[in-house]
A and B are shown apart, each in its own frame.
Chain A
Amino acid sequence: MIISTQKPFEEILESLKGEDTVYIVGCGECATMTQSGGEPEVAEMKARLEEAGKKVVATDVAHATCHELDIKRIFRQNKEAALAADAFLVLSCGAGVQSVREGTSKHVTPGANSLFVGNVKRQMSFEEKCSLCGECILDEYGAICPVTRCAKGILNGPCGGTNNGKCEVDSDKDCAWVLIYNQLKSEDKLDSFMTIHGPKRWNAVERPGRLDGKAAGQEKGAA
């Protein structure tokens, strides 16, 4: 899921300067899980904005804010409030903010910072393990991603900064290459470690990414 954290309230208030009536949109998926834009956070935001003198005309927690058709449907159903609002405050990831952008021509502002695609370790504990590179190479690395989990994205083994199996950039994080080594060793697949891997095709996904229909490999009859 997309891990996000709410922006400082002062920053949100600043981005709503001159906008008197606000429509708050939250997200029932990721931002609920990360407590940056679920039902409780949206309600709290409403209270704080009202305390700061804003008029909150509506709040909605979409099933998934990144679903553009769903956002448009919500705004149609809530037409009056959508028309009355000067601005939309979106408590979700940047994808959600831009769904709202598609649903209104008014001022739209983000209430959260999007951090990474994260795995949920336990409640409110998340870790980045995939960076959506477009060409999955996990089969060669014991299903531990060096692109994401090594601070330098090294594909051919640890740098000189490994320290007791931890990363020199952040001693709270495991050195991905020690994890990969241990995994490949346990699978008796260290020959995979010894393969010299060329650099990533960083443009495997042309940015901005777009996918219409199924990708080539998934099409019926494709080899």
Chain B
Amino acid sequence: MGKYREACESGRFVVSGEIGPPKGTDVDTMLHHIDLLKDMVDGLNVTDNQSAVMRLGSMAVSHEIVSRGGDAIYQMTCRDRNRLALQNDLLSAHFLGLRNVLALTGDHVSVGDHKDAKEVYDFESVQLIQCIKRMNEGFDWAGNELGGGTDFYIGAVVTPESDPIEPQKLKFEKKIDAGAQFFQTQAVYDMDNFQRFMEYARGVTEGKDVKMMAGLVVLTSVGMAKYMNKFVPGVFVPDDLLEEMASVPKEEAVKKGMEICARHIRFLIDNDICDGVHVMAIGKEEIVPEILELAGLRN
């Protein structure tokens, strides 16, 4: 069992960060971020060709995190591989000591940097979750017995601000039925709305061992917040936060964003809203320790 799962099952508030592998072989900054965060959080997600942009692989970087003493949440999308390749990678990941997988359908190639690529989607997230569960039980997708099954902690995502929300909720329930054990949400900023979503989610997960982590993307400028509202489906930054970001000079915007993030973490803990947070600083991982400190989470 990995440290992330241990933390989730301990019942305490769980914190994860995120590493976006670079495009190229210059890994110094990424390694610096890993070393900075690995002991401060319970796990680090590693994105898989994030936004359909070709990058260094999530399996290799996840392995690096584990070999440096941290725990990785290996993100796996269905966009680039068929069921043979997905299962092959799952066995490889297990061999390399990875124990947490976040199953995603994956952004469409049309939003990325290889727009003429053939997207695969042989499986999608719900089926990938099912497949990992089956491999945990000792079988591959085709029903063949594995010479040794896997032991993955199965993660999934949900978008609480999806518009419309009803089909998204049903899909969330299907992911649980398929075998998802933990969820990290798409970025949430409206804590009242998230609280309402969690009331619903708690109803669904009652009696089931499913952990819910709020996804928090740190705002670094008012422009970024407006951009997300306009262009990122399922992300909504409410007006009061836009005003708050705009209330400070440009050079203090990151600090303001960190304060907001820390305040949201505190709110989620103090009101016992969810089981943890997944903090995404998108390339500015060096600010994460201070956010956790501001939220009173650093020992």
A interface, CB within 8 angstroms of B: 151-165, 168-169, 177-178, 180-181, 190, 193-194, 196-199, 202
- Evaluate whether A162 and B168 lie within 8 angstroms (CB atoms) in the complex, with A156-B124, A199-B122 already known: yes
User: Shortest beta-carbon distance, A182 to chain B, in Å?
Assistant: 9
Residue from the list A156, A168, A178 in contact with B127, Cβ < 8 A: A156
Taking a contact as CB atoms under 8 Å apart, the answer to whether A196 and B233 are in contact is no
Supply 18 further A-B pairs (C-beta < 8 A) apart from A155-B127, A156-B171.
Answer: A152-B119, A154-B124, A154-B125, A156-B124, A157-B167, A157-B168, A158-B162, A158-B167, A159-B105, A159-B124, A161-B233, A162-B163, A162-B164, A163-B233, A168-B233, A178-B164, A178-B167, A193-B167
Q: Which of B42-50, B173-181, B241-249, B278-286 contacts A (4 or more CB under 8 A)?
A: B173-181
Q: What separation, in Å, do the CA atoms of A154 and B124 have in the docked complex?
A: 6
In whole angstroms, what is the CA distance A160 to B236 when docked?
13
Give the chain B neighbours of A194 by CB distance below 8 A: 170, 173-174, 177
Q: How far is the CA of A154 from the CA of B108 in the complex (A)?
A: 12
Assess whether A169 is in contact with B110, with CB atoms less than 8 Å apart: yes
In this complex, how many residues of chain B approach chain A with their Cβ under 8 Å: the count is 34
Contact A196 B130 (CB under 8 A): yes
The 5 A-B residue pairs whose C-beta atoms are closest, nearest first, are A157-B171, A163-B233, A156-B126, A181-B167, A160-B159
From known contacts A165-B164, A190-B170, infer whether A160 and B83 are also in contact, taking CB-CB under 8 Å: no
A194 to B124, CA, bound (A): 15
B261 located at the interface, meaning its Cβ lies under 8 Å from any Cβ of chain A in the complex = no
Flag B209-245 by CB within 8 Å of A: 1 or 0 each. 0000000000000000000000001100000000000
B177 near A196 with CB under 8 A, answer: yes
Closest to B126 in A: A156
Residue numbers in B under 8 Å from A157 (CB-CB): 126, 167-168, 170-171, 174
B residues touching A (Cβ–Cβ < 8 Å)?
79, 83, 105-108, 110-111, 119, 121-127, 130, 157, 159, 162-164, 166-168, 170-171, 173-174, 177-178, 186, 233-234
**Complex: chain A residue closest to B170, CB-CB:** A193
Inter-chain contact B170/A181, CB cutoff 8 Å: yes
Chain B residues within 8 Å of A158, by CB: 162, 167-168, 171
- Chain A nearest CB from B128 CB (Å) reads 9
13 contacts between A and B (CB under 8 A): A153-B124, A156-B127, A157-B174, A158-B168, A159-B105, A161-B107, A162-B168, A163-B234, A180-B167, A198-B127, A198-B130, A199-B127, A202-B122
Listed residue (A153, A156, A165, A181) with the most chain B CB atoms within 10 angstroms of its CB: A156
Does A155 contact B163, Cβ atoms closer than 8 Å?
Answer: no
Residues of A within 8 A of B159 (CB): 160
Chain B residues near A164: list those with CB within 8 A.
163
For residue A197, which residues in chain B have a CB less than 8 angstroms away from its CB? 126-127
Which chain B positions have C-beta within 8 A of A151?
A: 108, 110
Q: CA separation between A159 and B104, bound complex, in Å?
A: 9
Q: What are the residues of chain B within 8 A of A153 when measuring CB–CB?
A: 121, 124
Partner of A160, one of B119, B123, B162: B162
Bound: A42/B117 CA distance, A:
34
Q: Which residue of B lies closest to A156 (CB)?
A: B126
Distance to closest chain B CB from A116 (angstroms): 16
What B residues does A155 contact at CB under 8 A? 124, 126-127
Chain B residues lying within 8 Å of A168, measured Cβ to Cβ, are 108, 111, 233
Q: How far is the CB of B259 from chain A (nearest CB, A)?
A: 27
Q: Contacts A152-B124, A168-B108, A181-B167; is A160 near B173 (CB within 8 Å)?
A: no
Residue of B nearest to A179 (CB): B167
Known contacts A190-B170, A193-B170, A196-B174, A163 near B163 by CB under 8 Å: yes
Residues of A within 8 A of B168 (CB): 157-158, 160, 162
